[in-house]
Structure 1
Amino acid sequence: MSEPGQESRCILETRGLTKDFKGFTAVKDVNLKVQAGTIHALIGPNGAGKTTFFNLLTKFLKPSAGSIVYDGTDITRRKPAAIAQQGVIRSFQISAVFPHLSARDNVRIALQRKLGISYHFWRPIRVLDQLNQQAVALLEQVGLRNFAETPAVEMPYGRKRALEIATTIALEPRLMLLDEPTQGMGAEDVGAVTDLIGRVVKGRTIIMVEHNLNVVSTLADRITVLNRGEILAEGPYDEVSRNPEVMEAYMGARDVE
């Protein structure tokens, strides 16, 4: 969560964001503001429009109407690569690492991309050595130093997600978008990854889609609840979790906690 008293400003805003699919409206007139330096969670029942909205934010879908403003600039019509260059980096629901490369090499590739030398494999070995040191330092931040030489395919699932977070941080994002970071994990891994996110993203701006409400209650400064493509409620977890409309949407008037 953000530090108490931290000065906050709007870094991302959607205005009337809408997405239609051949007569079906998946996202309808969504107005959202995300404050810099906070963790903002998107939750909602199945079919609420969370994934569609997330794909609109990251430019994998084009909106039918409305606009997206990032740090004062309209990015509605920009390509995913263009917003990535502006510091908007997405971590996917399914672990997106190179399975047969070591953890260190996965992070090093991200560092090379940041420096603009992703495919310059003829660079002097001393340049790569320097990046190796940075890569290992990032692995240490996420508790993976002992896995530096381990191929990603051989790592436990929770460790792979930690590796993905390390590669995301290597790109020095100004805005991180985490798509179901604890999807498919057992309770032990969920706790470890939740602690990791809370530790390494401090001071960064995060938008997170997450189904696990315990994770949301632990990490999120603010929550937006979507239902049938529209904003149903918004606010801190304690307030949102007791909203009768939210309870009804999730499980028929039962508390979401």
Structure 2
Amino acid sequence: MDDVILQTHRLTKTFRGFTAVQGVDLSVRRGSIHALIGPNGAGKTTCFNLLTKFLAPSAGRIEFKGEDITGLRPAQIARLGIIRSFQISAVFPHLTPLENVRLGLQRALGTSMHFWRSETSLRQLDGRARELLDEVGLAELADAETASLPYGRKRALEIATTLAMEPELMLLDEPTQGMGREDVDRVTALIKKVSAGRTVLMVEHNMKVVSTIADRITVLQRGAVLAEGSYAEVSTNPQVMEAYMGTTDTALQAEGH
């Protein structure tokens, strides 16, 4: 299956007798936007933590481009090109957007931990950093203080910093969480734009976002896969509607539009 970039086999995580993720089989196709959804407590973020090795699986296997990566450490996972964002915006507030993106670009120079290097030595990265900021709509704010940016723009900056690390697979954890409608629409369009030529796996609670950009959706409930398919398929699945709404009516479909 050459078109599958990430695959899990019976992925499981147990905490002191509680099974948070149970036998998850997941296949993410290269070049797609794949959404992982489910009610609160379904195991979505735990799955992300397993994929990036912030947690070690209790059982199961993870494969990236056909290679078993289950035993690797988080830094090794990142070096392979699996780059993750987090629910809470993870940028340096007292640096400028340009400086934030430049830190991500340092990985390509092999100086990512050399924070004592003079700023002059890093200016060779400014051109590419500004290109990435332009890609996410932040070119005019490149030299502002990041702390002063609206929340939605900080999330856009986080995506630019993620792109700076040249991911083959971007893992976006709740990218629109806490945003107003205008920011949600902007970040949704941004994810669609930057996904061109890349693969995105995202945890997302906003069904409008999922219905707009996801090519394929995996629904988790109590740590296990409940359903998988296109938005049209999962949104009309009675089990999925009941898991979300406690009903089998069309509420889930309405939420997505």
TM-score scaled by structure 2? Answer: 0.94
Q: Distance in 2 between matches of 1:114 and 1:189?
A: 31
Residues 195-232 of structure 1 deviation map (CA, whole Å, 9 limit, x = unaligned): 11111221211110000000011111000000011100
1:87 paired residue number = 81
Residue 142 (structure 1) aligned with residue 136 (structure 2): yes
Give the whole-Å Cα distance in 2 for the aligned partners of 1:251 and 1:86. Answer: 39
Q: What count of residue pairs does the alignment treat as equivalent?
A: 250
Number of the residue aligned with 1:19? 13
- Code of the residue aligned with 2:236 in structure 1: it is R
Amino acid in the other structure paired with 1:165: I
C-alpha distance in 1 between matches for 2:167 and 2:140:
25
Q: What code does the residue aligned with 1:250 have? A: Y
**Structure 1 residues 15 and 145, CA gap change in structure 2 (3 angstroms):** same
Give the drift of 1:115: 1.9
Correspondence for 1:195 = 189
Deviations 1:7-43 (A, max 9, x none): 9701111001111111111111111111111011000
Distance 1:120 1:48, change over 3 A: closer
**Does residue 160 of structure 1 match 2:151?**
no
Unaligned runs of 5+ in 2: none
Deviates more, 1:198-207 or 1:242-251: 198-207
SS at structure 1 position matched to 2:154: helix
Q: Match for 2:249 among 244, 250, 254?
A: 254
1:207 aligned onto 2:208: no
- Comparing 84-93 and 128-137, the one that deviates more: 128-137
**8 A contact 1:36–1:205 mirrored in 2:** yes
SS of 1:55 mapped into structure 2: helix
Partner of 2:33: 39
**Identical-residue share of aligned pairs (%):** 63
CA distance in 2, matches of 1:254, 1:40: 25
Q: Which of 60, 65, 69 in structure 2 is aligned with 1:66? A: 60
RMSD value, Cα: 1.4
SS at match of 1:196: helix
Report the CA distance between 1:120 and its aligned residue.
6.1
- What amino acid maps onto 2:174 in structure 1? E
What's 1:50 paired with? Answer: 44
How far apart are residue 121 of structure 1 and its match? 4.1
* CA distance in structure 2 between the aligned counterparts of 1:124 and 1:192, rounded to whole angstroms: 32
Q: CA deviation at 1:114?
A: 2.6
State the TM-score, normalizing by the size of structure 1: 0.94
Amino acid corresponding to residue 107 of structure 2 in structure 1: R
Match among 217, 230, 239 for residue 236 of structure 1: 230
Contact 1:89–1:173 (8 Å) recurs in 2: yes
The Cα of 1:53 is off from its aligned counterpart by 1.0
Instruction: Measure, in 2, the Cα distance between the counterparts of 1:68 and 1:237.
Output: 25
**Ranges in structure 1 where 5+ consecutive residues have no aligned partner:** 1-6
Q: 1:101: which partner in 2?
A: 95
Change (3 A) 1:124 1:105: closer
Match of 1:217 in 2: 211
CA distance in 2 between partners of 1:227 and 1:32 (Å): 14
* Preserved contact between residue 92 and residue 146 of structure 2 (Cα < 8 Å): yes
Check conservation: 2:136, 2:160, Cα contact below 8 A: yes
